[in-house]
Amino acid sequence: MRLTFREVMLGVRRSPLLSTLSVVTIAFSLFAFGLFGLLALNVDQALRGVEEHVEIVAFLADGTLPESISAAMGDISAFPEVARVEQVSPEQALARARAELPEFQDVFDASFLPPSIEVRLKEGHRDPATVKDVTQRIQTYPFVDDVRYGEDWVKKLYDIRNIAGAAGIALGLLFAAVAVIIIGTTIRMTVLARTREISIMRLVGATDGFVRFPFLIDGFLKGLVGGLLALFLTWGANWLISTNLIQTSFFDPGVATLGVLGGGIIGLLGSALSVGRHLRRV
């Protein structure tokens, strides 16, 4: 192990430019991936925020007994898809309408607005099919006049989320593949720069594992440093956008750590592939 680290450090000392180039290339590949990740994270959060507004409103018939309403609310709360049920009286409905729509400012009487029950669904149950299903169950109560949930809006939102999710996975895989190829090529340059040394090691009887090990450690460390640099760059980009353009979210510490470790693992894999290919040829 001591010998391995000495060889890694020797490699860095011998070709500082190549080592720096490797780390910077890894950092920029991962930075591009990080920026994409940041975009995907924020788009997802924004869509989640919009989705939270998916709501079913059941308008109740005039004169519905409060006990019936309470019983229905209890039933509906027990639906597995339901997160929250709230009763809205005509007065509350008028106050809201006045706040949201200026033309209601002159209305003094709430009696023409029906009482209603507002139902919010749990995350993961806001797709059009589930919303429609819950709506139909609510409609079975005899005192429910009408139920609305913005069918078209829910469907469109759901479509956007699906498209954004699929595009995210496809682009993410593409970015990751590009990063692996670039990093693999960079590490291959390091391997080629040490061809002579590898051939000497093999001639004096070094095993493939012995030859490979310092390169794996080298690739892992460069990937790790590149990952840290990429994290720093991504954080800087996020800070610039947050302070100058729009408020954005950053990766939580767990994801950030995984990203940096991912850099190390990509470096390790790139090295393993490059050295493996080289060793098979010589």
Which residues of the chain form contacts with other proteins (CB under 8 A)?
3, 10, 14, 196-197, 199-208, 210, 282
Residue keyed to tokens 């590949």: 29
What amino acid is encoded at 234 in this protein? T
Helices (H) and strands (E) in the chain, counts: 9, 4
Cβ at position 277, least distance to other proteins in Å: 14
Residue number with CB closer to other proteins (201 or 237): 201
Q: CA-CA distance, 239 to 34, in Å (whole number)? A: 14
> What is the C-alpha to C-alpha distance for residues 262 and 21, in angstroms, rounded to an integer?
19
142 or 205: whose CB is closer to other proteins? Answer: 205
CB-nearer residue toward other proteins: 199 or 242: 199
Would you state the structure tokens that stand for residue 241, as one six-digit string? 């956008």
Nearer to other proteins, 209 or 254 (CB): 209
CB of 24: closest distance to other proteins in angstroms?
24
191/11 Cα distance (integer angstroms) = 10
Dihedral angle computed from the Cα positions of residues 85, 110, 94 and 115, in that order, rounded to the nearest 10 degrees: 10
| Residue nearer to other proteins on the CB measure, 78 or 281 | 281
Radius of gyration of the chain (CA): 30
Between the CA of residue 191 and those of 198, 270, 271, what are the distances in Å? 9, 11, 8
In the bound state with other proteins, the residue whose beta carbon lies nearer, of 203 and 245, is 203
Instruction: Give the shortest CB-170-to-other proteins separation in angstroms.
Output: 39
Return the SS3 of 120.
strand
